[in-house]
Structure 1
Amino acid sequence: MPGTVSPEFLRAHTRTARPTLVPEVQLHVADDVVGLWEAMETEGGGAGQDPPFWAAAWPGGQALARYVLDHPATVAGRRVLDLGAGSGLVAVAALLAGATGVLASDPDPYSHAAIALNAELNGVSGIEVAGDLLDDDPPAVDVVLAGDVCYDREMTGRVLPFLGAAWLGGAAVFLGDPGRAYVPKEGLVEQIAYDVVDADGGPARRTTVWRLP
């Protein structure tokens, strides 16, 4: 993994776009994810990089961002954890909705660079980036926003105990997900559902914002 990611590399291999469900926010995204991944290997620090999940606006993140912008009292005046931050879409939306600060957690250094660029692009400040937090106790925050984190069995097995611990510690916990099989059927309360249109013209995905009760 690269120690430091050049902002110029990200700018050179992405374009700015507005997510379909959250047009208030701009992001650096990739038109050609495979081409970007290849460039990361050849130009951005060598082989072995994770896929560039940070270069797309995933449906669960879009749903959470839309939710906090439409319901700013969820985060206004509060410190927020954006878990699995990726592009930083949710972190940016939380700040636009009045959060006092955001801890954006993602294990990928490319994500950290993208979050900084996207914060600058949207004129917000107050995002602190961090790596993988799932093996530690949850940080002291008021709200946890977790988008698209239950994408496989192994990750879900790590995420759900962390979210439960954050909830037991007093945080409000929200999960955004487009109907993946690993999201539990019990223990969650539906807040709202959106049809998230694919930016490339694919079918819309019904995406739900859940809350731990």
Structure 2
Amino acid sequence: MKTDPERFIRANTSLMAPPHVSEIRLHLASEVHDLWLKTEDELEEIGLPPPFWAFAWAGGQGLARYVLDHPEVTAGKRVVDFASGSGLVAIAARLAGADRVVAADIDPWAETAIRLNAEANGVVIDFIGRDVVGETLEADVVLAGDVFYDRGFADALIPWFDRLAATGIDVLVGDPGRSYLPKDRLTALASYQVPVTRALEDSEIKKTTVWRFTPQVDV
């Protein structure tokens, strides 16, 4: 029997506000390992990626906080929330007045999670479920929370973000000090002390910085 993602999400998460973004409510899980195993059992597939859509990661919380506190960043603009996960940052952009928000994520259950979370916050979020890395985007702003955790992924993102920024797209990144963050290409905009769960991180508070990606200038 094919698993119903909406049924599974509703049964294994609770509607709650992330600690650093109290204006927004999301369907979130309390324990990553148990939910990961349940997801594999439901889909009868071993080796699935973690259910990123079920947690409010530090980088996303910081970026969502920045967008809500600085609505001029997204108000009236076309926004893409890359690697959207729960849709937290996408929802923040919509609440801050973005004209259109597209959440992009390759997790097959992220679309359902984002739809449920958008409905819980009274907003509409469009969704792209394919890998958009390297594509030209119809956007004024690209938001990316917690994306520099893997070397291979970072190596693909940096030249792509560079091309996007070079065309005039405002690329903002939320990051709590991941290993492959390209600080030499970034300008800090704001920093926050973000409460997180020890199920996800190595501490209960993560210093999270919002950065603007700066395109490479040929000399």
Short-chain TM bin: over 0.9
CA distance in 1, matches of 2:82, 2:164: 11
Gapped regions of structure 2 (runs ≥ 5): 215-219
CA distance in 2, matches of 1:105, 1:69: 20
The superposition leaves residues 72-130 of structure 1 with CA deviations (integer Å, 9 ceiling, x where unpaired) of: 00000001010110000000000000001111111101111111110011110142333
CA drift of 1:19 comes to: 0.7
CA distance 1:40–1:145, shift in 2 (3 Å) = same
CA drift of 1:16 comes to: 1.3
Q: In the alignment, is the contact (CA less than 8 A) between 1:91 and 1:127 conserved in 2?
A: no
Identify which range, 45-54 or 91-100, moves more after superposition: 45-54
The superposition leaves residues 166-190 of structure 1 with CA deviations (integer Å, 9 ceiling, x where unpaired) of: 1112101101100122111312110
Q: In the alignment, is the contact (CA less than 8 A) between 2:68 and 2:93 conserved in 1?
A: yes
Gapped regions of structure 1 (runs ≥ 5): none
The superposition leaves residues 25-78 of structure 1 with CA deviations (integer Å, 9 ceiling, x where unpaired) of: 011111122221121122245334221111110011001100010000000000
Number of the residue aligned with 2:205: 204
- Counterpart of 2:20, as a letter, is L
Number of the residue aligned with 1:167: 165
CA distance in 2, matches of 1:178, 1:32: 20
The Cα RMSD (Å) is: 1.8
**Percent identity, aligned pairs only?**
47
Q: In the alignment, is the contact (CA less than 8 A) between 1:156 and 1:182 conserved in 2?
A: yes
Number of the residue aligned with 2:217: none
Number of the residue aligned with 1:53: 52
Number of the residue aligned with 1:90: 89
Residue 69 of structure 2 is aligned to residue 63 of structure 1: no
CA distance 1:141–1:4, shift in 2 (3 Å) = farther
CA drift of 1:17 comes to: 1.4
Q: In the alignment, is the contact (CA less than 8 A) between 1:100 and 1:126 conserved in 2?
A: no
CA drift of 1:200 comes to: 5.3
Structure 1 residues 1-213: aligned runs within 5 Å: 5-44=4-43, 46-134=45-133, 136-199=134-197, 202-213=203-214
Tell me, what secondary structure is at the counterpart of 2:184?
coil
CA distance in 1, matches of 2:59, 2:130: 20
CA distance in 2, matches of 1:95, 1:199: 26
Tell me, what secondary structure is at the counterpart of 1:209?
strand
- Counterpart of 2:207, as a letter, is R
- Counterpart of 2:93, as a letter, is A
CA distance 1:90–1:108, shift in 2 (3 Å) = same
CA drift of 1:15 comes to: 0.9
Runs of 4+ in 1 over 4 A off after TM superposition: 199-202
Q: In the alignment, is the contact (CA less than 8 A) between 1:106 and 1:130 conserved in 2?
A: yes
CA distance in 2, matches of 1:4, 1:164: 39
Q: In the alignment, is the contact (CA less than 8 A) between 2:90 and 2:125 conserved in 1?
A: no
CA drift of 1:137 comes to: 2.0
CA distance 1:6–1:23, shift in 2 (3 Å) = same
CA distance in 2, matches of 1:7, 1:46: 18
